[in-house]
Structure 1
Amino acid sequence: MERTWCDLAAKLSFADLVAAGDYLLCWEDPKTTVERLKDAVDQYTSQRGRAVLPVALAALCPRSRSRPESLLRVALVASPLPDPIPNFGVHLVLSRRNIEIDLAYPKYKVGLEYQGDHHREEVGQWRRDVKRGNDAVDEGWSMLYFTGDDTKDLAELLTRVERRLRQRGWRDGC
């Protein structure tokens, strides 16, 4: 599987290569390790995609839970905006529970949440998502929700993230 990930470097965009690697490393059900991927990169002999592999390897994050989260994280890290923290744990005092925010800026209390189709198709999931979002807002978080359609125009989504961050006090370079 590590070799297959290396082979994908010749076929996928950088962001999709990182998303595939994130999937392989996801802490909830890891398929491999960073060390095994690094060994595969070191031993990879093909020149097709070879140059991008070390850069993609450095960009991997085992805290990502989905391709859309990874795509947005890669775009945010490449932008002048601050880097988000994937699946950031937050203790909500008012509702007395712990949640994880898909991509978070704790300093500014800005949270980004991906809503896949299963979030709207599964009634229980949808209700939990609405309650969790409202609970986070009650404690001062500004939540921004995005769907698969939003990942088709990441520039627009980055503009929205920047606007939220600026509303919360972020300034370039801060």
Structure 2
Amino acid sequence: MPDNQAFSHATAAAVWQLSLPNALLDPARDLDVGVLAPARHPRRIGIVGHQLQSHLVTVVEHRGLRVTDPSSTWASMGSVLTSDYELIGLGDSIVRERIFRDDRDPIATLDQLIAIVGAGRWAGVRRLRSAVGRVRTRSASAGETRSRCVIVDAGLPEPSLNVVVRDGYGNLVAVVDLAYEDLKIAVEYEGDQHRTDPEQWAKDIARHEQLAAMGWIVIRVTRAQLYGAPHTVIARVRAALARRSR
């Protein structure tokens, strides 16, 4: 790879280990390679070439590879991702602050994402402008991002993210995915790992029972519900809000 080239777009996002749809992580997918203008983008079998504008893109080394930096990688995905929720989720995974012990530090800030969107004419810039205003720093997964967006797009209040709940003695009970803390309503996204890991499943049950004993309404959301029947999720959240607002 010449010095004026770098991995970009979905390939760069994968190198940065960001939240991506499975289709973009297919090992058989062609690699995205960008070249700094005015050079022409590369044309080879197994390569999708892109021309990169040097005033928009910063190239860095990560994991031994030359890649576009996190902010410009996110901006480039405005022309790749077809779902606004996926674009927001990608931004969430870039700016996510450390919530749990094993979390890494954020690899860019929300201000950097806002700045890169305003730096020039990106493909899909209107989608980027809309998405960046919805990026949050405390979303821990794509499922949590989609849950939040589905709820908000239904006209319901935006819940807080990864809220720490303690008992009367100050002991940690749970870190709730999404919460209306004042109303004691929790929305927990149950990814596949919760269902397939017996130990995790047992911990989930115990945690939710303890939350219920403390007066919380716990709404458990599965992937099938969120992606296949989001109206059922909205109805349950709306009913819980109505119940607590009486």
Does TM, normalized by the shorter one, top 0.5? yes
Q: Is 1:4 paired with 2:73?
A: yes
Structure 2 residue aligned with 1:140: 215
Q: Give the count of matched residue pairs.
A: 169
Unaligned runs of 5+ in 2: 1-69, 99-103
Decide whether the 8 Å contact of 2:173 with 2:210 is kept in 1: no
Runs of 4+ in 1 over 3 A off after TM superposition: none
Distance in 2 of aligned mates of 1:84 and 1:148? 19
TM-score normalised to the size of structure 1? Answer: 0.89
Structure 2 residue aligned with 1:43: 119
Decide whether the 8 Å contact of 1:3 with 1:44 is kept in 2: no
Cα deviation code 1:38-65 (max 9, x no counterpart): 222122323x311121221111111000
Q: Which of 83, 89, 94 pairs up with 2:164?
A: 89
Unaligned runs of 5+ in 1: none
Greater relative contact order (CA < 8 Å, ≥ 6 in sequence): 1
Decide whether the 8 Å contact of 1:115 with 1:145 is kept in 2: yes
Aligned-residue offset at 1:147:
1.4
Q: Is 1:162 paired with 2:238?
A: yes
Helix, strand or coil at the partner of 1:107: helix
Decide whether the 8 Å contact of 1:24 with 1:31 is kept in 2: yes
Structure 1 or 2, whichever has the larger Rg, is 2
Decide whether the 8 Å contact of 1:111 with 1:141 is kept in 2: yes
Structure 2 residue aligned with 1:75: 150
Distance in 1 of aligned mates of 2:121 and 2:155? 34
Decide whether the 8 Å contact of 2:148 with 2:159 is kept in 1: yes
Q: Is 1:54 paired with 2:54?
A: no
Aligned-residue offset at 1:95:
9.0
Structure 2 residue aligned with 1:20: 90
Counterpart amino acid of residue 243 in structure 2: Q
Helix, strand or coil at the partner of 1:43: coil
Distance in 1 of aligned mates of 2:79 and 2:226? 22
TM-score normalised to the size of structure 2? Answer: 0.64
Higher fraction of strand: 2
